[in-house]
């Protein structure tokens, strides 16, 4: 502190820190289970199917990394009511999902399948693999 602080023109009082928004989904698994497999209702399967997906997506390190990125981007962009949703689709989902669903992607050897219009196949990961981040300090 200086003896001249009382005469400063600028506002040096710190404003209260904004509360960080709470996560909507607590983990990558919750995001995949509750949202992603439903909005990507593509027909997947082995053989000559155009798209691949593995119900046990959590067994594929590339898939975990990409799906984590999709979830984190979605959590951030959901707060932008103007263009957040569009930005998520264009800049994130439209990039990562074609790679994940590709016949050359991480799920290339998967035989998991569904019917047209059904959610992507899903198997729950082992307990504790994706802890709820809303409960983290």
pLDDT digits 0-9 by tens, 40-95:
989 999 998 999 999 999 999 999 999 999 999 999 999 999 999 999 999 999 99
Stated as kind and residue range, the H or E segment containing 72 is helix 61-77
Whole-angstrom distance, CA of residue 63 vs CA of residue 41: 17
Question: Can you give the pTM of this predicted structure?
Answer: 0.84
Whole-angstrom distance, CA of residue 106 vs CA of residue 102: 8
Domain boundaries, the chain: 24-119
Query: What's the average model confidence in pLDDT over 27-41?
Result: 96
């Amino acid at each position: 502190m200086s003896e001249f602080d009382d005469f400063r023109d600028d506002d040096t009082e710190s404003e209260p820190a904004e509360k960080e928004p709470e996560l909507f989904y607590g983990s990558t698994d919750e995001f995949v289970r509750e949202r992603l497999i439903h909005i990507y209702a593509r027909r997947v399967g082995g053989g000559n199917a155009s798209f691949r997906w593995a119900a046990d997506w959590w067994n594929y390190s590339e898939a975990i990394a990409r799906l984590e990125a999709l979830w984190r981007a979605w959590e951030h962009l959901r707060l932008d009511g103007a263009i957040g949703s569009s930005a998520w689709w264009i800049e994130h989902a439209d990039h990562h999902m074609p790679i994940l669903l590709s016949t050359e992607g991480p799920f290339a050897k998967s035989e998991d399948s569904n019917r047209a219009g059904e959610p992507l196949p899903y198997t729950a990961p082992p307990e504790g693999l994706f802890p709820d981040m809303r409960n983290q300090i």
